[in-house]
Amino acid sequence: MDKEKYIGAIESFPKRKILVLGDYCIDRIWNVSKILPNPEAPVMRTVTYPSGITETLGAAGNVSRGLRALQAQTYVLGVIGMDEGSRNLLDLFLKDGINTEGMFSQNGRVTPIYQRLVSGKDLPYPIQTMQRLDLENDNLVEENVLSEIIGYLGRKIQKIDAIILADYQEGEAKGVVNEVLIRVLSQEAKEAGKILVGDSRERFHLLEGYTAITPNRKETDRTLESLNENINQNSYDDAKKLVERLGLKYALTKRDRDGLIISSSEESRTFPATTPENKVIEVCGAGDVVTEIFTLGLASGLNCFESAELANIGAGIAVQKSGVSVVSLEELLKAIN
C-alpha cells in the first residue's frame, strides 16, 4: 500500500462533486421502551417515547449521507411528493449540507417512509426488528417529471466528477429509476467522460456501458442468470463475465465475509475482509460505503485496484458500528495511518 498516495486521495475528497440519482426515502426507527398487555386485542402493546423515534436518510439517501460524511460535495437527483415526509426529507438533506436543486416534486406522490419497530436499544443483547411498516407509492413517476430529471442531468453533468446510480427498487415498486434513465445515464456519462458507478437491487443486467457496477454475491448470481450465463462459483470468472457482457470498465463484487473482488478485462484481484467475524456488529450500510469510497477513489485519481482496496478498508470500519452506518473522512484517514 502506498500510504501517502491514499492519504492524498482521501484529503482531496472534499473537492469532489458527486451526483446521486436514485430512489430516496426516510428510515424511521421506533425504539420500544416497554411491552405491556393489551386489553383491546390478543396482541402485545408496545410503548415508545418521542426521544426513541429517529429519522435518517434511507435508500439512495444513505449513499448521499455517506458521501457527505466523507466530505464530498453531494448533489441529489430524484422525485419527492408534496407530503410531510417530503418536507422532512428535504430538512434531512439540508441538515447534512446536501444540494437538493435536483429534487423534483410530483402531486399525488409521497416520499416513502420505511418504519421499523425495534427492541434492545438499551439492553446488552442485539437490537431486534419486531415489525416493519412501509409507506410507498402506488403511481408511476410522470413523463414530464422524468423529462425535468433528464434536463437537469444534461445541465449539471459537466460540473461534476462522478455519478452514482442508486437503484433500490424491488419487485413492482414505482420509483424514479427506469430503463430510459438507465440508458440516458450511460450515454450522457460516456459523452461527457464522467465516471458512472451503478448499484441496483434487481437490474444490474441493464447497466451496459457503465464505468463500474457494485453487486453483492446474490446480485452477481442473479445478474449472470439474467444474462443467460452459467454461474460456476469461480468469483474471478463471474466478475469478468459481468465486465465482458455489460461492456464495463470494472466490476466490483461484494463477497460478504470474503471481502471484495475487483475485475477489469485484463486482471482481477481479491481484497479479504479486514474485520474478524467476531468483531462484526452490523453489515447494513457497508455495501453503500463500498460504492461511495470506490467512486470517490476513482474520482480522486486512484486506479480501480487502489479504489477497491480503500473501499474495503472503509467497509471494515462500517461493520464495526451498529445500525445503518456511514464512515467519516477522519475515520478513513485514521485507518490508513
pLDDT tens-digit profile of 131-167?
Answer: 899 999 999 999 999 999 999 999 999 999 999 999 9
Q: What is the DSSP letter of 126?
A: P
This prediction has a pTM of 0.93
pLDDT of the residue at 146: 96
Model pLDDT for residues 240-262, shown as the tens digit of each residue: 999 999 999 999 999 878 889 99
- Inter-axis angle of helices 304-318 and 329-336, nearest 10: 110
pLDDT of the residue at 108: 93
| Residue that has been written with the C-alpha cell 470500519 in this structure | 317
Are 170 and 112 spatial neighbours (Cβ–Cβ below 8 Å)?
no
Under-50 pLDDT residues of the chain:
124
Least Cα distance to 196 among 265, 300, 287, 299 occurs for 299
